Amino acid sequence: MIPDLGKYTDTVLWSYAASIGLLAALIVFSVMRGRKTRAEMEKIEQRMSRNG
């Protein structure tokens, strides 16, 4: 499946793994924080509107 990368297999695969891993971590972290903030805001807004 993977094309023959010759003697540089480790080099190429490691750099792909590191980069994609970092990007994925950034996206996951952003989305998790985004979800948390959004939920918290909605909770507070509901509480505020109930209390007037």
Partner 1 sequence: MSIAAKANALWEYANPRKFLATSERVMPFFWVTSITCIVVGLVWGFFFTPDDFRQGSTVKIIYLHVPAALMAINCWLMMLATSLVWLVRRHHVSALAARAAAPVGVVMTLIALITGAIWGQPMWGTWWEWDPRLTSFLILFLFYLGYIALWEAIEDSDTAADLTSVLCLVGSVFALLSRYAVNFWNQGLHQGASVMRAAAVTGADTEEKVSNVYFFPLLVCIIGFVFLFIALVLYRTGTEIRARRIKALLARERVSG
**Residue carrying structure tokens 């793994």:** 17
Write out the binding residues for partner 1, residues 14-43 only, by CB under 8 A: 14-16, 18-19, 22-23, 25-27, 30-31, 33-34, 37-38, 40-41
38-42: long-range contacts (C-beta < 8 A, 24 or more apart)?
Answer: none
Rg (CA), the chain: 21
50 near partner 1 (CB under 8 A): no
11 near partner 1 (CB under 8 A): yes
Residues that bind partner 1 (CB under 8 A): 3-9, 11-12, 14-16, 18-19, 22-23, 25-27, 30-31, 33-34, 37-38, 40-41, 44-45, 48, 51
